[in-house]
A = this chain, B = another copy of it.
Amino acid sequence: MEIEIEGGSVTRILMGVSESTIKGHPHASISSRGAFDWTIQKIVRHNTSAFKLLFLHVQVPDEDGFDDMDSIYASPEDFKNLMNRDRAKGLHLLEYFVTRCHEIGVSCEAWIKRGDAKEVICHEVKRVQPDLLVVGSRGLGPFQRVFVGTVSEFCVKHAECPVITIKRSADEAPQDPVDD
């Protein structure tokens, strides 16, 4: 009846992480940080050598469209700079989580993909085959959900591995609950 836990195999947890939507906030979104903290505190705990965290950041090609309204493109170089800026933002986000893992002593990997967040996450689950997918959620009501989409709901239904959705706690929600 004893359950075998192979010493060599760690529990691989894939986390979908996103940037904060709050203007001037250079870091991970509130819900991504909440999901990370919860995973460390409640699942990994002090057993750091038994887990590996995989961070996936999906960049939505059109997401920054509004910011770009003020920009003037005069040469092919300007587009290249834009791409580099996006890339830098994504790397900065991953650096935040990789640094925290390093401090805590849990091994990790992080990467960026471009595309539709919910579809890319489910595709990466199929490719990487983690033991568990953790996604943060703003915990919005049905009315707000219509406008902002629901990556977490889609993943719970379609990802080919167990999924935990970590809702943002009420006291962490920003003034506009659609922000994160």
Contacts and interface: CB of A to CB of B under 8 A. Distances in A.
A3 B40 contact: yes
Interface residues of A, number: 29
Nearest to A166: B162
Contacts of A126: none
A3 B104 contact: yes
B103 A41 contact: no
- A interface, by DSSP: helix, strand, loop or mixed? mixed
Interface stretch (A16-24, A44-52, A114-122): A44-52
Interface in A59-76: none
For A11, A42, A99, A166, the residue with the greatest tally of chain B CB atoms inside 10 Å of its CB is: A42
Given A11-B43, A100-B1, A156 B162 contact: no
A131 interface: yes
Contacts of A99: 1
Interface of A: 1-5, 11, 37-38, 40-43, 45-47, 50, 99-100, 103-104, 131-132, 156, 162-167
